Chain A
Amino acid sequence: MILELFLLLAAGLFSIGLFGALSQQSIVMIMMGIELMIGGIVVGAAAFWHFLAPATGSGQVVVVAALVAMAVEMAIGFAVTTAIFRARQVDMADAAQDLKG
């Protein structure tokens, strides 16, 4: 069990998540891609904390903050997804171009 393996896992998770976020059409799938990316970051952060500075607690705070961000993002994201689906029967990102300039 070495740091490089965990970093590889984190990079893999992030890349898969990025690919998913960029390639998926469905909002839910995009959000899942984002979850994977954050998951990759959580893995990376935890691995850095565990292998490089296990004595300090600040690394754990970063992991907790990331988890909180994940949870809040999921809550808001699914709320928005549900609301937009109810309002417009839309579940694809391409069908909701409200941010077009």
Chain B
Amino acid sequence: MSALLWLLTAVPLGAGAGLALAGRRADGAASWAGVAAAVVTLGLAVGAAVARPAVSAPLFAGVRAGLRVDGLSAVMVITVAAVTACVLLFSAGEFEESADRGRFFGLMLLFAGAMLVTVTATTLALLLMAWEVMGATSWALIGFRWRQEHRVRAADAAFLTTRTADLGLYLAAGAAVAGGAGSLRLDRLADPGTPWLHVVTAGVVLAAAGKSAQLPFSFWLSRAMQGPSPVSALLHSATMVAAGAYLLLRLHPLLAATGWAGPLVAWTGAATALALGVVAVAQPDLKQLLAASTCAQVGFIVLAAGSGGVAAGTAQLVAHAATKAGLFLAAGAWLSALGTKRLTALRSAARAYPVVGIAFTLGALTLAGLPPLSLWATKDETLAAAHHEDAALYAVGLAAAAVSAGYSVKALWYVLRPLPEDAEDAGGAGDAGARYDTEETGTRKVAPAMRPPLLLLAFAAATLGVLALPGVSAALADTVGASGEAGPRPWQFGLSAGVALGAGALAWWWGGRLVPVPGVLREWAAGWLHLERAAHALVVRPVLGLARAVAAFDDRIVDGAVRMTARGGLAAARTAARLDDDGIDALVRATAAGARRLGRWARRPQTGLLHQYYTQAAVSFAVLTLIALLVR
């Protein structure tokens, strides 16, 4: 049994690492090898979900690396593996002409494998490792077309944002160790006493909010749109963004153990769902609209996690994964076919490419929360959990649901409606060449490999509503170990259906006209609430300023002290040299000069003239005689 679980993580990670390392050499076989690995992983995931294996291996002293498929993990592994398989199959079509498929499929498999480890890990240490691998591969995938500067910058922004929030997990791990939960097992994280429990919880909430692009971290998801469409599809549905929500669902006991964390998380989710929904409405770009809607929909999961609806959150996560993956793949298909993702340019795109159009329509209707599609039902479950907690939360959630119907129908309106007769409305020019190819040169066709995953995901999106049927819902709740949660009452289903239908109808009637709000407000929403600018002003610039100040401190004080020491040493050396030159050396020189002068004097009588020597001898004798005479 345990081999199954090892294989489940080893197959995508091994295949991914192999493909990524083989690089260009694997380009030819990469797509089918990648799809095969994903399908095998899906099979293993189903097997693991049925068999529920658990393995464990020593990792550090006192910390084990455990993998276990329990109820929540079983749902997650199937979701992750299924979405990965669909996305990779789609990519095999999208990347037909492109080179560097080895790197792409390798990184995608690594990414999905890291997510699988994340959702099956039983200790925080292993989860953190997979979490980091996921962050790193997401950076590599968003910046996949690294020759374009702005994409690399976007990847950096996304990575740095999630990375900053990830520090919360390190904080949590440290606090858990300090608080006595040294084994770092996820089910024991709530054990530490009062001061440490709060630190652990705060760290986990921070990391989850960052990964799930909740307020105030939402802007990185906008930048992440610079990656290829399949990357967005995977990143926004079952992995990465879902990882944060999964963490909150998994560590729900932690939220319950502290009084403040649950409401905080719930309100964060609700605020994100509403605010980012408004942002989505204001986007002129299909992928940006979908990105903002991801934040909003994940906000519902976070809301559920914060208000104790683990089963509701799981159902919403699964349904949203299927829906959003399909929508992003459809947007990607249009992007590669038409070369644009601007809504005004995509007018009537659904008519030109009917298969994609059907998939997108189903997905968008699901996203709008229209009955009887899946997100309608699962969202009501999350709202029921919120209602159980706080009526105000329920009201905000309901408003967010109305907004979600608005942006979904707005996107749908653009792609379904025929081109207006007067070409002015359609991006300024009537002919296709001017409207299309704003991003890249489109191929004007949808590859055959793209169709099955689109339809499959659209079908799943539409039908996953069964998760909310009473019997299935109870079974799901049993599976994730959260039976006894308050389900939605019939009036809540009716109310949300009415709200969604009303808002959707209003949005359809309103169409492509501008919403009559002040331009500042519209610009604010279109610019993702200027969160990135705020992050720059509040975090990036102070950090850089601090770094500059510290650098100046280092240069002037620390380095300055070193330089001053060196300068002092030089000065001392110079003084010593002067002492040596002018003192000792001069003395030696003076001695030498004196000796030389004496020598010169001594040489002066040596004239070489014999009679002078005689004279000297005679004078000397005379003197000696005189002395002898006088001294005697």
Q: Nearest CB to that of B603 among chain A residues?
A: A101
In the complex, chain B residues 272-287 whose Cβ is within 8 Å of any chain A Cβ? none
Contact present for B606 and A21 (CB under 8 Å): no
Report whether A97 and B615 are in contact in the complex, using a CB–CB cutoff of 8 Å: no
Q: What is the minimal beta-carbon distance from A3 to any residue of chain B, in angstroms?
A: 21
Which residues of A approach B to under 8 Å, CB–CB?
18, 21-25, 27, 30, 93-94, 96-101
Interface flags for B601-613 (1: CB within 8 Å of A; 0: not) read 0111111111101
A94 and B618 alpha carbons, distance in the complex (Å)? 18
Given contacts A21-B614, A30-B614, A97-B607, 16 further A-B contacts (CB under 8 A): A21-B611, A22-B611, A22-B618, A24-B611, A27-B610, A30-B611, A93-B610, A93-B611, A96-B610, A97-B608, A97-B609, A99-B608, A100-B606, A100-B607, A100-B608, A101-B608
Min CB gap A95→B, angstroms: 10
- A22/B615 contact (C-beta < 8 A), A99-B608, A100-B607, A101-B606 known: yes
- Residues on B with beta carbons closer than 8 Å to the beta carbon of A96: 608, 610
Given contacts A18-B618, A22-B618, contact A101 B613 (CB under 8 A): no
Contact of A99 among B602, B604, B606, B618 (CB under 8 A): B606
How many angstroms from the CA of A86 to the CA of B292 in the assembled complex? 124
The smallest beta-carbon distance between B604 and chain A, in angstroms, is 8
Expressed in whole angstroms, the Cα–Cα distance for A21 and B617 within the complex equals 12
Please indicate the chain B residues that have their CB under 8 angstroms from the CB of A23 in the complex: 611
**Cβ < 8 Å to A, chain B residues 557-609:** 602-609
Q: How far is the CA of A25 from the CA of B614 in the complex (A)?
A: 12
Q: Which of A23, A27, A97, A98 neighbours the largest number of chain B CB atoms within 10 Å of its CB?
A: A97
Chain B residues in 8 Å Cβ range of A24: 611
Q: Closest residue of chain A to B610, judged by CB? A: A93
A24 nearest in chain B by CB position: B611
Nearest Cβ distance between residue A39 and chain B, in whole angstroms? 17
Chain B residues within an 8 Å CB radius of A25: 611
Given contacts A101-B602, A101-B603, contact A94 B615 (CB under 8 A): no
Interface core residue of B603, B606, B608, B610 (most chain A CB under 10 Å):
B610
B interface with A by C-beta (< 8 Å): 602-611, 613-615, 618
Complexed CA–CA distance, A21 and B611 (Å): 7
Residues of A within 8 A of B608 (CB): 96-101
- Once the chains are docked, how many angstroms separate the CA of A47 from the CA of B607? 38
In the complex, the chain B residue whose C-beta lies closest to that of A99 is B608
Count, A-B residue pairs, CB within 8 A:
39
17 residue pairs from A and B, CB less than 8 Å apart: A21-B611, A22-B614, A22-B615, A23-B611, A25-B611, A27-B610, A93-B609, A94-B609, A96-B608, A99-B608, A99-B610, A99-B613, A100-B606, A100-B607, A101-B604, A101-B606, A101-B608
Query: Chain A residues with Cβ under 8 A from B606's Cβ?
Result: 99-101
Closest to A101 in B: B606
Chain B residues with Cβ under 8 A from A30's Cβ? Answer: 610-611, 614
A residues in contact with B610, CB < 8 Å: 27, 30, 93, 96, 99
Give the CA-CA distance A98 to B604 in the complex, in Å: 14
Alpha-carbon separation in the docked complex, A44 to B607 (Å): 33
Q: Which residue of A lies closest to B607 (CB)?
A: A100
B618 to chain A, nearest CB (A): 7
Which of A23, A25, A94 is most buried by chain B, counting CB atoms within 10 A of its CB?
A94
Closest to B599 in A: A101
Chain A nearest CB, measured from B596 CB (Å): 14
Distance in angstroms from B421 CB to nearest chain A CB is 127
Looking at the assembled complex, report how far the CB atom of B149 sits from the nearest CB atom of chain A, in whole angstroms.
88
Provide the residues of chain B in CB contact with A94, threshold 8 Å: 609
* Chain A residues closer than 8 Å to B611, beta-carbon distance: 21-25, 30, 93
CA distance A98 to B356 in the complex (A): 122
B623 CB to closest chain A CB (Å) equals 15
Complex Cα distance, B602 from A99, in Å, reads: 14
Q: Contacts A21-B614, A22-B615, A22-B618; is A101 near B609 (CB within 8 Å)?
A: no
Most chain A beta-carbon contacts within 10 A, residue among B605, B606, B609, B618: B609
| Chain A residues, Cβ within 8 Å of B605 | 101
How far apart are the CA atoms of A30 and B607 in the complex, in Å?
A: 17
B398 CB to nearest chain A CB (Å): 124
Q: Which residues of A contact B602 (CB under 8 A)?
A: 101
Docked complex Cα distance between A80 and B293 (Å): 128
Q: 5 nearest interchain CB pairs?
A: A101-B606, A100-B608, A97-B608, A101-B603, A93-B610
Nearest Cβ on chain B to A1's Cβ, whole angstroms:
28
Give bound CA distance, A27 to B614, whole Å: 13
CA–CA, A25 and B610, complex, Å: 9
- The docked-state distance in angstroms from the alpha carbon of A101 to that of B615 is 17
Query: Could you tell me the distance in whole angstroms from the C-beta of A84 to the nearest C-beta in chain B?
Result: 12
Nearest to B600 among chain A residues (CB) is: A101
Chain B residues whose C-beta falls within 8 Å of the C-beta of A27 in the assembled complex: 610
A85 to B613 CA separation, bound complex (whole angstroms): 21
Q: Which residues of A contact B609 (CB under 8 A)?
A: 93-94, 97, 100
Which residue in chain B gives the minimum CB-CB distance to A98? B608
A22 to B610, alpha carbons, bound, how many Å? Answer: 9
Q: How far is the CA of A74 from the CA of B605 in the complex (A)?
A: 26
Q: Distance (Å) between the CB of A36 and the closest chain B CB?
A: 13
What CA separation (Å) do A40 and B604 show in the bound complex? 32
A93 cross-chain contacts in B, Cβ below 8 A: 609-611
In whole Å, how far is A37's beta carbon from the nearest beta carbon of chain B?
10
A35 to chain B, nearest CB (A): 14
A34 to chain B, nearest CB (A): 9
Pick from A94, A97, A101 the residue with the most CB of B within 10 Å.
Answer: A101
Report the separation of the CA atoms of residues A62 and B606 in the bound assembly, to the nearest whole angstrom: 33
| Cα(A34)–Cα(B618), bound, Å | 13
Complex Cα gap A101–B606 (Å): 5
Within the complex, what minimum Cβ distance (angstroms) separates B598 from chain A?
13
Most chain B Cβ neighbours within 10 Å, of A18, A25, A27, A99: A99
B618 contacts which chain A residues (CB < 8 A)? 18, 22
A93 to B608, CA, bound (A): 9
A22 CA / B604 CA spacing, docked (Å): 19
**Nearest chain B CB to A94's CB is how many angstroms away?**
6
Give the chain A neighbours of B604 by CB distance below 8 A.
Answer: 101
**A29 smallest CB distance to B (angstroms):** 10
Q: Which B residues touch A22, using CB under 8 A?
A: 611, 614-615, 618
